[in-house]
Amino acid sequence: MNTTLLEINDLQSEIFNKNSSTTVVNNVSLTVGQGETVAIVGESGSGKSMTALSILGLLPRPNGAITSGQIVFDAQNLTELGEQDLNRFRGSEISMIFQDPMTSLNPVFTIGNQLIEALRSHEKISKKEAWLRAVEALRDVHISDAESRMKQYPHELSGGMRQRIMIAMALITRPRLLIADEPTTALDVTVQAQILDLVKELRDKRNLAIVLVTHDLGVVADIADRVYVFYAGNVVESASVHDLFAKPQHPYTQGLLRSVPRGTDNRLQSIRGMVPDLTSIDRTRCAFADRCDFVQQHCLDTEPVLEAADIEHNVACHFYNNLKKRESNADTSA
């Protein structure tokens, strides 16, 4: 948290179609300190995964591209690099794990083959040495019987096991940053908890920085230091986990928190309306206006920008100051 490891400035990424383009990441800025865990939260289609993919230049090819902004990792701007130079960072300094462990491993190669390949593409070591390192990497993620797992194919293993292997593969080169794109979404609840515990353990052991993309606020509360809330390709609020859960400022964040089931309150609310279609979004107004309970004329005229609401707490809403009052009014009238 002391020194910055990754800094994203005004990132804009687009997906190009035949005659149109869609801005999926819109002027996003965020920072990740060394050893820090930063969560990116949002609904599907909010641009959170696209931001994560942009970092390593992994936007879908050939129609996805970063159109402006910088991604600075360890004083190197990654957006300036070509594929070949980027490959020096991919899987070595920065690794990534993905949502669906069932499809993220190549079905026709053994686990060992894929682990060793990850290692040998960055380090000049013998096959035998790489094999030993791979076995060790599997043990680090608590996979029993590591030697025989090396010879197995992905389809022979369960989802939780495969996600462990993905983690082992990502961390085998001892990267400084791990990008985890919805790493537990496709897993069973019990397995989710095990995977999260594993990630926490490895993070603490290795002083690993993590960018965690998720839609699950429970996961955020469990693991993250700081949070960025995404909506329609924008960051709408950023704060420390404590601040965000204690005093959410943006009406969207408040809505998200209300839609999380809690032990004490059995009223569960959802945010009305639906996720806007990014292909037809109007960037001159507040993207959340259609779903906001507190919408004003000003929201339809001007797009709000991130401003400091508190120390290290930013929010993109014209009226965040007045919300509290309005909310209590709304509660009494309802």
Judged by CB under 8 A, the chain residues 260 through 299 that form the site for other proteins are 260-261, 270, 274-275, 277-278
Q: Single out the residue of 27, 51, 79, 95 in contact with other proteins (rule: CB under 8 A).
A: 95
Q: Single out the residue of 11, 69, 122, 236 in contact with other proteins (rule: CB under 8 A).
A: 122
Q: Single out the residue of 7, 74, 117, 222 in contact with other proteins (rule: CB under 8 A).
A: 117
Hey, what's the torsion of the CAs at 57, 62, 63, 68, to 10 degrees?
40
Count residues near other proteins (CB under 8 A).
73
The nearer residue to other proteins, 198 or 202, going by C-beta atoms, is 198
Cβ 201 to other proteins shortest distance, Å: 17
102 counts as binding other proteins under rule CB under 8 A:
yes
Q: Single out the residue of 74, 123, 129, 216 in contact with other proteins (rule: CB under 8 A).
A: 216
Q: What number of other Cβ atoms are within 10 A of residue 242's Cβ?
A: 12
80 counts as binding other proteins under rule CB under 8 A:
no
Q: Single out the residue of 68, 77, 106, 329 in contact with other proteins (rule: CB under 8 A).
A: 106
Tell which positions 2-21 bind other proteins, by CB under 8 A: 15, 17-18
The nearer residue to other proteins, 85 or 312, going by C-beta atoms, is 85
Q: Residues for the chain: how many in total?
A: 334
Q: How far apart (Å, rounded) are the C-alpha atoms in residues 48 and 43?
A: 8
90 counts as binding other proteins under rule CB under 8 A:
yes
Q: Single out the residue of 6, 38, 66, 105 in contact with other proteins (rule: CB under 8 A).
A: 105
171 counts as binding other proteins under rule CB under 8 A:
no
Tell which positions 178-197 bind other proteins, by CB under 8 A: 185-188, 190-191, 194
Q: Single out the residue of 33, 65, 70, 159 in contact with other proteins (rule: CB under 8 A).
A: 159
Q: How far apart (Å, rounded) are the C-alpha atoms in residues 311 and 308?
A: 7
Cβ 47 to other proteins shortest distance, Å: 9
On whether the CB atoms of residues 279 and 265 are closer than 8 A, the answer is no
Residues 6+ apart with CB under 8 A from 16: 63, 64, 65
Stretch that binds other proteins, among 67-75, 113-121, 197-205, 303-311 (CB under 8 A): 113-121
On whether the CB atoms of residues 167 and 97 are closer than 8 A, the answer is yes
Tell which positions 23-62 bind other proteins, by CB under 8 A: 24, 42-45, 49-50, 56, 58, 60-62
The nearer residue to other proteins, 7 or 100, going by C-beta atoms, is 100
Q: How far apart (Å, rounded) are the C-alpha atoms in residues 58 and 41?
A: 20
Cβ 315 to other proteins shortest distance, Å: 19
Q: Single out the residue of 6, 66, 96, 292 in contact with other proteins (rule: CB under 8 A).
A: 96
169 counts as binding other proteins under rule CB under 8 A:
yes
The nearer residue to other proteins, 105 or 130, going by C-beta atoms, is 105
Residue 29: C-alpha distances to residues 178, 193, 204, 310 (Å): 18, 30, 26, 18
